[in-house]
Amino acid sequence: MDLQDFLLRARVLKLYRQAVRTARRAPPDSRAELKQVIRQEMESNRDCKDKQKIRFLISEGTERLKGLAEMLGMQGHC
């Protein structure tokens, strides 16, 4: 694993941790399902080796996470 792979892996793990933390803010009845969806999304791209695609997926995941956080914030979930 070269440095670029290591840095991409760190960004993916950071995104995953942020997503799980954000899911904790969801209403209790949908929290488990949301965490499951997050995990499935990560698992479905686990074997991706294309660095360009990984960067795209990180960018897309970050935008989706921002949208989720905004939606939870509007609903009054801390």
d(CA 27, CA 35): 12
Residue 1 has pLDDT above 90, yes or no: no
pLDDT > 70: percent of the chain: 97
Instruction: Report the C-alpha gap between 24 and 8 in whole angstroms.
Output: 25
Reported as a single tens digit per residue, the pLDDT across 21-76 is 999 999 999 999 999 999 999 999 999 999 999 999 999 999 999 999 999 988 87
Structure confidence at residue 77 as a pLDDT band (50, 70, 90): low
pTM value?
0.90
Between CA 45 and CA 26 the distance in angstroms is: 24
Q: Could you give the residue ranges of the DSSP H alpha helices within 24-76?
A: 28-44, 51-74
Nearest to 20 by CA among 72, 65, 67: 65
